[in-house]
Structure 1
């Protein structure tokens, strides 16, 4: 089941995301490339523009099977009103599943450090026109009829949103955790909490530790008598 996040907005479930990746990988033309491209969005929360700009040298794979992506903030982040991130490079964690997919693609196609990570098998660039068409086809193949009539997964960015929601829901939701997620996805923390408010636990009035807050904000007790006389001039 998809989780409702905000009025009229839904997130794809893990099952739906992985079904879309599987569908892409089964396509006879550039299926493995398309799966890798979609996986970078679904598992590392890259924007489509950020994924297209990724070069092989910017994929750092560790010996334990995980790694990092060096991602240059792209147009989507700027549209999300985080202009302070524009042009910045951020390190995004790579899970073992994504690391294996990216390593497999690099070896399969004999890519060099300066090569684009995602290029179609015939050598043509993977463009927005191509991946949007694939996304529409994958959505139609995977989702049920009543889901196709809704806003669920209408745009490819739904894969990114689903991963961000999962990162937020599966953490301790402390300020440090939220800041770490915001840094990974290239958004400011206020913008992140605004867009994904329903993924965060909002304490009720009874859950707020009012006594500790009051103690922390209280002024120090003033002495009843001055400690020293003030000499009048």
Structure 2
């Protein structure tokens, strides 16, 4: 999750990510909202600022338990895009687990369309100051002693990085798949592939389309030259 191309070992593991969510849920104050907020980063790869900006109207929940998060470009309001077709809004899939948490939070606080989804139990907004403090506490509680002073999971964005890495690893890793992950993440495909190169496997020899390569890369006149060479003593 805090990743550069050659530092895949710094990613938080799935176990650590879910341990963080469970730790947040167990907090006596603001437990449910903290878990839902962190889950939106860990399960939908949102940036923390994007998660904070989510309002009820930005969440489309389907009957099958899945959903879509409408995430506006930085500094824009998704309602502007809806009204006149302008603005950059990306559609991020929400899995069953995340949808369940969002439904519970919306119902628990009886939120309306214009309400921010993530707010503290006393009504104050969830801010970067609050979630960074919570993240430091969660990280200390979840990581092994020898990992606490390491770069592993240094910031809450580590949850986003782990999600992106999982999406890349679990797909077919085709160009179309990488492009789709990049669109969901709100980054360019080349930048995503460069940063998470350690998550992209190299094709095995059996998977390389040798016939296609040979057909696509013939040397001009090579066949004639070989035939002539075979006839020469």
Q: Note whether the superposition's TM-score is higher than 0.5.
A: yes
TM (norm. structure 2) is: 0.83
Q: Distance in 2 between matches of 1:209 and 1:126?
A: 52
CA RMSD of aligned residues (A): 2.3
What is residue 165 of structure 2 aligned with on the other side?
165
Change (3 A) 1:59 1:220: farther
TM (norm. structure 1) is: 0.83
Report the count of equivalent residues.
209
| Residues 5-51 of structure 1: per-residue CA shift (max 9 Å, x gap) | 62485111111001101111111111111100000000000000110
What is residue 209 of structure 2 aligned with on the other side?
209
Q: Answer yes or no: is 1:15 the counterpart of 2:47.
A: no
Cα offset, 1:203, TM superposition: 3.2
What is residue 90 of structure 2 aligned with on the other side?
90
Q: Distance in 2 between matches of 1:29 and 1:183?
A: 35
What is residue 108 of structure 2 aligned with on the other side?
108
Does the CA-based 8 Å contact 1:5-1:11 persist in structure 2? no
What is residue 136 of structure 1 aligned with on the other side?
136
Change (3 A) 1:171 1:8: closer
The runs of 5 or more residues in structure 1 that have no matched partner are 76-86, 225-233
Cα offset, 1:204, TM superposition: 6.2
- Equivalent position SS for 1:172: coil
The runs of 5 or more residues in structure 2 that have no matched partner are 76-86, 225-233
Does the CA-based 8 Å contact 1:182-1:189 persist in structure 2? yes
- Equivalent position SS for 1:91: strand
Does the CA-based 8 Å contact 1:9-1:151 persist in structure 2? no
Q: Distance in 1 between matches of 2:191 and 2:164?
A: 13
What is residue 84 of structure 1 aligned with on the other side?
none
- Name the structure, 1 or 2, with higher relative contact order (CA <8 Å, separation 6+): 2
Cα offset, 1:207, TM superposition: 5.7
Matches within 5 A, 1:180-219: 180-203=180-203, 208-218=208-218
Q: Answer yes or no: is 1:72 the counterpart of 2:72.
A: yes
What is residue 27 of structure 1 aligned with on the other side?
27
Cα offset, 1:130, TM superposition: 0.4
- Equivalent position SS for 2:70: strand
